[in-house]
């Protein structure tokens, strides 16, 4: 491809609304343009990268036995009502009520309902199972604050796959195939990924893993053991129990007036204690009533952990009216002492506290000297909080927190959707059974952005070789010189004939301009063809990732480039 016949509108200025490197560089390198907030047009250079990524995804999904199809972006809301996910998705689900024919229609943020409807219509026997169907499709979510370029958008490209099996053993096998396929995809894309245990969130299911790319541009956090033995996202992370430090003497409970002070920060400052010396009492409502959670003052309740430990559904914050009716006090003054008639679950850290400060169930008052076991009983306890700095992994290794991008997520759904949508098949005994399902999603745009976040410098992008828009970038420094252009053109044609994507910068501009654009666009291998070099009988080969340039004869350049490509290509696990 010749630069003058392609379309690469590079820009010098950094967009005012672009903060993270991937957003800045995708705009400056002429890869995309914002159309409206949260939606982008992919220009030819960016689209080539998307095609490279989707090509790798298709190859690995097909190799793993998945079958591609295409599902619509517009969904009848009735399918979402069958699964109860209209409420679960909340404001992120985009409704289209403005025309009569669109009433009751939503734009799909994901496709569990549609694929389950397809399965229940056409798959009716165990002989048709297992089956795994996938698509690469545009999704829509009503993101309130789109930002960071393609990392948080309202419209995005996603690969989602759905497996259907006859039993849990089959699901485990399907899940393992997809897990391994994801590892190969990220390895082939050249990304430094980390698989971590994860929560399933509104998708549902009982087991899942996320594939994280560590970068400061991420909005998620992964938690890993310092010794490498454990990794999870921050929502799922488990910790070693906090040890009981003991207590010289239990203080007496004392009621202290704390006027206008309802937060941990306010009360700890007023009483000259540390937040970790306080017990935070959080009241929730759920499908069957109220639930009280106790955590240390410097910890936060993890609602997914709490729901799992307490085995409740529909967990949500209690209203101020519910709190006042239960405690007899305003919000911010609840405490476990004397709190009767309600189920209480304490975090493990609370069970080893001594002489703590808690709300007194009396507006503008707190209790000091509170001791679990003496002043209130703990009938139920477990891990119901988020991990924090200073926690240790289950084996005792210190936990390390890192910002990251979630690029992929795999779930064991079980029968969540087949039960609610009555999607059944007949087993070998002729008995009706619900499909055992798995779900496997990958953000294609995020793979692209994560690659840039992982591989860039102050001059531009440094693409991994398998997803670079071009493999080789030829800079013809003297475009008016016949010898330079004939050599550059022959090298371009020979590389293309060898199956190597090649971009030839044939513009009549200064060498410095070409080199800056080459660094910005980030093609892995640069070939410089200039009058001075040809006088010496050489062209120059240089890697975008760094290192010294090599000088080779023009006739030897293709073979040398093929060796470089082999060196740059990642080793992919079986």
- Spell out the residues 6+ positions from residue 278 whose beta carbon is closer than 8 angstroms to its own: 264, 267, 268, 296, 297, 356, 357, 358
Nearest to 26 by CA among 346, 507, 449: 449
pLDDT at 104: 87
DSSP result, 543-559: ETT----EEE-GGGHHH
Give CA–CA dist 190/568, Å, rounded. Answer: 10
Angle at CA 29, nearest 5°, toward 24 and 31? Answer: 95
Q: State both tokens at 429.
A: 């005994």
Q: What is the mean pLDDT of residues 204-212?
A: 79
Give CA–CA dist 255/233, Å, rounded. Answer: 40
Give CA–CA dist 306/346, Å, rounded. Answer: 9
Neighbours of 537 (CB within 10 A): 11
pLDDT at 206: 63
Q: Is 432 helix (H, G, I), strand (E, B) or coil?
A: strand
What does the H/E/C string look like for 478-524?
CCCCHHHHHHHHHHHHHHHHCCCCEEEECCCCCHHHHHHHHHHHCCC
Whether the full predicted model's pTM is greater than 0.85, yes or no, is: yes
Give CA–CA dist 493/498, Å, rounded. Answer: 9
Nearest to 570 by CA among 188, 194, 195, 211: 188
Q: What is the pLDDT of residues 350-372, one digit of tens each?
A: 999 999 999 999 999 999 999 99
Nearest to 386 by CA among 293, 324, 453: 293
Q: What is the pLDDT of residues 420-475, one digit of tens each?
A: 999 999 999 999 999 999 999 999 999 999 999 999 999 999 999 999 999 999 99
Nearest to 49 by CA among 475, 406, 454, 471: 471
What does the H/E/C string look like for 41-95?
EECHHHHHHHHHHHHHHHHHHHHCCCEECCCCCEEEHHHHHHHCHHHHHHHHCEE
Nearest to 455 by CA among 521, 517, 509: 521
User: Does 17 have pLDDT greater than 90?
Assistant: no
pLDDT at 245: 86
User: Does 562 have pLDDT greater than 60?
Assistant: yes
Angle between the N-to-C axes of helices 444-454 and 44-63, in degrees from 0 to 180, rounded to the nearest 10: 110
pLDDT above 70 as % of the chain: 98
- Determine the length of the chain: 574
Give CA–CA dist 300/306, Å, rounded. Answer: 11
Asked if 236 and 197 count as a contact pair (C-beta separation under 8 A), the reply is yes
Q: How far is CA 257 from CA 298, 324, 334, 336, in A?
A: 22, 18, 14, 17
User: Does 202 have pLDDT greater than 70?
Assistant: no
pLDDT at 87: 85
User: Does 46 have pLDDT greater than 90?
Assistant: yes
Q: What is the DSSP letter of 251?
A: P
pLDDT band at 205 (very low <50, low <70, confident <90, very high): low
Of 498 and 96, the one with more pLDDT: 498
pLDDT band at 101 (very low <50, low <70, confident <90, very high): confident
pLDDT band at 123 (very low <50, low <70, confident <90, very high): very high
Q: What is the pLDDT of residues 236-266, one digit of tens each?
A: 899 999 999 888 899 999 999 999 899 999 9
pLDDT band at 201 (very low <50, low <70, confident <90, very high): low
Give CA–CA dist 268/250, Å, rounded. Answer: 19
Instruction: Specify the range with the lowest mean pLDDT, choosing from 141-145, 183-187, 297-301.
Output: 141-145
Strands 399-414 and 207-214: antiparallel
Q: Is 437 helix (H, G, I), strand (E, B) or coil?
A: strand
Q: What are phi and psi of 404, to 5 degrees?
A: -155, 165
- Spell out the residues 6+ positions from residue 238 whose beta carbon is closer than 8 angstroms to its own: 230, 232, 383, 387, 393, 394
Give CA–CA dist 325/318, Å, rounded. Answer: 11
Give CA–CA dist 382/460, Å, rounded. Answer: 48
User: Does 203 have pLDDT greater than 50?
Assistant: no
Cis peptide before 159 (omega within 30 of 0): no
Give CA–CA dist 280/77, Å, rounded. Answer: 40
Give CA–CA dist 324/520, Å, rounded. Answer: 60
User: Does 127 have pLDDT greater than 50?
Assistant: yes
Q: Compute the Cα dihedral for 74, 77, 82, 87 and give only its sign.
A: positive
Taking the alpha carbons at both ends of the chain, their separation in whole angstroms is 34
209-225 burial code (b ≥16 CB/10 A, e <16): bbbbbbbebbebbbbbb
Calculate the average pLDDT of the chain. 94
Element (H, E) at 24: helix 21-28
Give CA–CA dist 420/474, Å, rounded. Answer: 58
pLDDT at 200: 62
């Amino acid at each position: 491809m010749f630069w003058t016949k392609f379309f690469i509108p590079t820009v010098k200025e950094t967009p005012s609304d672009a903060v993270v490197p991937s957003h800045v560089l995708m705009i400056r390198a002429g890869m995309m343009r914002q159309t409206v907030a949260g939606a982008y047009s992919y220009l030819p250079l960016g689209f080539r990268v998307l095609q490279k990524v989707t090509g790798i995804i298709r190859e690995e999904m097909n190799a793993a036995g998945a079958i591609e199809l295409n599902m619509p972006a517009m969904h009848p809301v009735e399918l979402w009502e069958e699964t109860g996910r209209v409420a679960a998705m909340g404001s992120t689900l985009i409704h289209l009520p403005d025309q009569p024919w669109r009433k009751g229609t939503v734009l799909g943020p994901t496709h569990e309902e549609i694929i389950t409807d397809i399965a229940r219509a056409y798959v009716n026997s165990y002989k048709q199972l297992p089956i795994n169907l996938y698509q690469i499709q545009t999704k829509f979510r009503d993101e309130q604050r789109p930002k960071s370029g393609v990392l948080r958008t309202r419209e995005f490209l996603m690969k989602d796959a759905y497996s259907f099996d006859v039993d849990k053993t089959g699901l485990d096998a399907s899940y393992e195939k997809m897990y391994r396929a994801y590892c190969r995809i990220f390895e082939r894309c050249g990304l430094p990924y980390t698989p971590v245990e994860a929560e399933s969130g509104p998708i549902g299911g009982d087991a899942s893993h996320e594939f994280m790319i560590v970068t400061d541009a991420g909005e998620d956090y992964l938690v890993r053991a310092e010794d490498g033995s454990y990794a999870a996202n921050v929502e799922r992370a488990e910790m070693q129990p906090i040890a009981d430090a003991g207590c010289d003497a239990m203080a007496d409970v004392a009621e202290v007036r704390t006027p206008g002070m309802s937060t941990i920060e306010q009360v700890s400052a007023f009483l000259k204690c540390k937040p970790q010396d306080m017990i935070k009492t959080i009241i929730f409502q759920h499908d069957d009533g109220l639930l009280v959670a106790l955590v240390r003052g410097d910890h936060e309740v993890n609602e997914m952990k709490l729901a799992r430990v307490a085995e409740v559904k529909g967990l949500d914050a209690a209203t101020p009216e519910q709190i006042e009716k239960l405690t007899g006090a305003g919000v911010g003054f609840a405490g476990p002492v004397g709190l009767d008639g309600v189920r209480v679950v304490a975090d493990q850290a609370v069970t080893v506290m001594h002489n703590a400060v808690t709300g007194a169930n009396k507006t503008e008052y707190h209790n000091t000297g509170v001791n679990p076991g003496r002043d209130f009983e703990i009938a139920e306890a477990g891990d119901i909080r988020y991990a924090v700095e200073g926690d240790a992994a289950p084996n005792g290794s210190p936990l390390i927190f890192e910002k990251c991008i979630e690029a992929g997520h795999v779930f064991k759904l079980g029968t969540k959707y087949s039960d609610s949508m009555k999607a059944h098949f007949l087993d070998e005994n002729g008995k009706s059974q619900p499909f055992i399902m798995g779900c496997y999603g990958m953000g294609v745009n995020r793979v692209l952005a994560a690659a840039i976040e992982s591989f860039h410098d102050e001059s531009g992008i440094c693409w991994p070789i398998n997803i670079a828009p071009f493999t080789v970038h030829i800079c013809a420094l003297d475009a008016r010189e016949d010898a330079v252009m004939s050599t550059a053109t022959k090298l371009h044609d020979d590389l293309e004939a060898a199956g190597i994507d090649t971009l030839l910068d044939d513009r009549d501009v200064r060498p410095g301009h070409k080199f800056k654009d080459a660094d910005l666009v980030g093609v892995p291998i640069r070939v410089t063809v200039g009058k001075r070099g040809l006088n010496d009988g050489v062209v120059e080969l240089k890697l975008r990732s760094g290192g010294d340039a090599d000088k080779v004869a023009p006739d030897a350049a293709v073979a040398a480039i093929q060796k470089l490509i082999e060196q740059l290509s990642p080793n992919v696990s079986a």
